[in-house]
Chains A and B, each alone.
Chain A
Amino acid sequence: MNLDFSGVLPSLPYILQGIGTTLKVVVLAALLGFALGIILSLCKISSIKVLNWIADFYTSIFRGTPLVLQLMLIYFGSPQVFGIQIEPFTAAFLSFGLNSAAYISEIIRAGILAVDKGQKEAAMALGVPYRKMMMDIILPQAMKNILPAIMNEMITLTKESAVVTIIGLNDIMRRAYIVGGQSYRFFEPIMLAGLIYYVLVMILTIVGKLVERRMRRSD
């Protein structure tokens, strides 16, 4: 085996710059996924049947097809459907956000159903309207229980974001690949990219643990 990291060292800053791109995609996708996920989960537990159907259908579509296909559909399909070519970055966070929403909505739905039924009754008995009850009483308690699952989803999102390479977005993965192509040595730059992803995931894990501990204050 011949390994030589000295060759990729000059390209290190170039690869590291990809962190910004990756993080931007992940954060925006997470925000979109979370907001839409909450809305979808509320649709799923709603007593209005049509809303149940729409939310379930949405989830089944995004869970039932490959993520990379959704990404390509949005990126390469946009000129045909919307008449404009959207940016790779936009396509990336849109497809990841929409995809994440499907998974997050399932997580939140389960979390809401796990909150003691008495909480809803107590809020209702105090005259708290549905919206406030959900936002202030039910969701905060649901969040506490589902935080580990949400963290998992964020970690998946961070790693899976590497497929944006395919539409030419200069994230960590693609930069490593380019460096490899220029020097004909792929192993070292891609190992390096792997290390960066690993560190990002470790940081996310630690942040998740801290948030969880903070939320357990009331126990």
Chain B
Amino acid sequence: MIKIDNLHKYFGRLEVLKGINTSIKEGEVVAIIGPSGSGKSTFLRCINLLEQPTEGSIWIKDQEITGKKTNISKVRTNVGMVFQHFHLFPHKTVLENLTYSPVKVKGMPKKEAEEKAMDLLRRVGLAEKAGEYPNRLSGGQKQRVAIARALAMDPEVMLFDEPTSALDPEMVKEVLEVMKSLAGTGMTMAIVTHEMGFAREVADRVLFLDGGQLVEDASPEEFFSMPKTVRAKEFLEKVL
């Protein structure tokens, strides 16, 4: 599904990603963990071209998205992203947040987009909030809407950048539940997270980044019970 080959990213002189090689299979759920500043967000953002890789290539299905002729907008409609701080459109209602890009980008008829949006809102348990403005929602509700908004574009891949880090503790669970059920539908997911329990339970694989390098690539059982590298051991000692 996704193949990443020798991915380098520089910000000016600073090398943030130092040659990452990995691939993500269709339907796989990958947890990306690592210390702050290790390049997790940057890595994720390269996959939907919010950051332009400096070197290396990324393939989604059979298409090289890092090629010169890529239609960036097309790539992004196929790769959904959920941010730490939700970034819902505050001047649009919940329903409008979900229908905006299907209608404006994909040209979906409004009625069809609304029906689909309502389906998705039911799936995340927020159908009754369709007419509300985002500012009236709690953090957990906002994030569930943000997930539904990304899903409204029918992406084949979903990226999550610390989706629960900005939430009050009592709201973390409802968001993780939604993600878990999404994983159950066979969605291909890459999740940057500090929720080790969730990574362990839901992820098929764990990628451990440190200093811009992919230090470990293992199953959750392996990674959490017997990490191979010192860096991963030290990291886990700190967070667990």
Contacts and interface: CB of A to CB of B under 8 A. Distances in A.
Contacts of A119: 87, 89
Interface string A79-121: 0000000000000000000000000000000000000101101
Interface stretch (A17-25, A126-134, A198-206): A126-134
B135 A121 contact: no
B120 interface: no
A129 B73 contact: yes
A136 B105 CA distance: 12
Interface stretch (A30-38, A46-54, A137-145, A149-157): A137-145
B83 A122 contact: yes
Contacts of B180: none
Interface in A178-219: 217-219
B105 A218 contact: no
Given A127-B73, A127-B76, A219-B135, A122 B104 contact: no
A69 interface: no
A125 interface: yes
A188 B228 CA distance: 93
B interface, size bucket: 20 to 34
Nearest to B149: A126
B77 interface: yes
SS class, residues of chain A in contact with chain B = helix
B87 A118 contact: yes
Contacts of B79: 125
Contacts of B83: 118, 121-122, 125
B81 interface: yes
Interface string B71-114: 00111110111010101111110000000110011000000000
B90 A127 contact: no
Contacts of A140: 91
Interface in B130-173: 133-135, 149-150, 153
Contacts of A124: 50, 76
A80 B232 CA distance: 78
Nearest to B146: A122
Contact of B133 (A132, A136, A141, A217): A217
Contacts of B89: 119, 122-123, 137
Interface residues of A, number: 21
Q: Which of B87, B134, B149, B150 has the most CB of A within 10 A?
A: B87
A132 B104 contact: yes
A125 B90 contact: no
A208 to B, nearest CB: 18
B48 interface: yes
A140 B149 CA distance: 20
A144 B89 CA distance: 13
Nearest to A144: B91
A218 B50 contact: no
Contacts of B85: 118
B149 A218 contact: no
A121 B87 CA distance: 8
A124 B150 CA distance: 12
B91 A141 contact: yes
Contacts of B81: 122, 125
Interface in A21-77: none
A91 to B, nearest CB: 38
Given A126-B76, A126-B149, 6 more contacts: A116-B87, A122-B88, A125-B48, A126-B101, A126-B153, A219-B135
Interface of B: 48, 50, 73-77, 79-81, 83, 85, 87-92, 100-101, 104-105, 133-135, 149-150, 153
23 contacts: A119-B87, A122-B87, A123-B101, A125-B76, A125-B79, A125-B80, A126-B80, A126-B149, A126-B150, A126-B153, A127-B77, A127-B101, A127-B153, A128-B101, A129-B73, A136-B100, A136-B104, A141-B91, A144-B91, A218-B90, A218-B134, A218-B135, A219-B135
What 10 A-B pairs come out closest when comparing CB atoms?
A127-B77, A122-B87, A118-B87, A125-B81, A127-B76, A126-B101, A218-B133, A127-B73, A127-B105, A218-B91
